[in-house]
Amino acid sequence: GAGVSQSPSNKVTEKGKDVELRCDPISGHTALYWYRQSLGQGLEFLIYFQGNSAPDKSGLPSDRFSAERTGGSVSTLTIQRTQQEDSAVYLCASSFGAPGTGGQETQYFGPGTRLLVL
């Protein structure tokens, strides 16, 4: 079946503009995650959605970042008033089960959106 898809694959924007990143998880996966990865670095956890429950937003870097998940499926990550330090690869992943559920929490990643803020 189809894997996790993300769009756009690349985004170049000017400082101060807003951007919206989209993630389509694997069908049937209840959990969806957003991460940020700077060049050559590890993954920084941003936010996690479990079904239709309200997410824990404490991992978001600033109040310029927000995320939504509509109908328990597609998710969008919005960055307002982008700054140069927002430049990174934004990765989305989905899993069948929630964190702490053993093997069902295994995540499957999309290819990422490469964001460059000039």
Residue ranges in contact with another protein by CB under 8 A: 4, 33, 35, 40-43, 45, 48, 50, 55-56, 59, 91, 93, 98-103, 105-112
In the complex with another protein, which residue's Cβ is closer, 71 or 103? 103
Question: 62: closest CA among 49, 78, 75?
Answer: 78
In the complex with another protein, which residue's Cβ is closer, 22 or 80? 22
Q: Residue 38 Cβ, how far from another protein at the closest point, in Å?
A: 12
Task: Give the other-Cβ count within 10 Å of 18's Cβ.
Answer: 11
What are the CA-CA distances from residue 41 to residues 25, 37, 38, 71, 94 (Å)? 24, 6, 5, 32, 21
Q: Residue 28 Cβ, how far from another protein at the closest point, in Å?
A: 17
The continuous run of DSSP H or E covering 29 comes out as none
In the complex with another protein, which residue's Cβ is closer, 14 or 54? 54
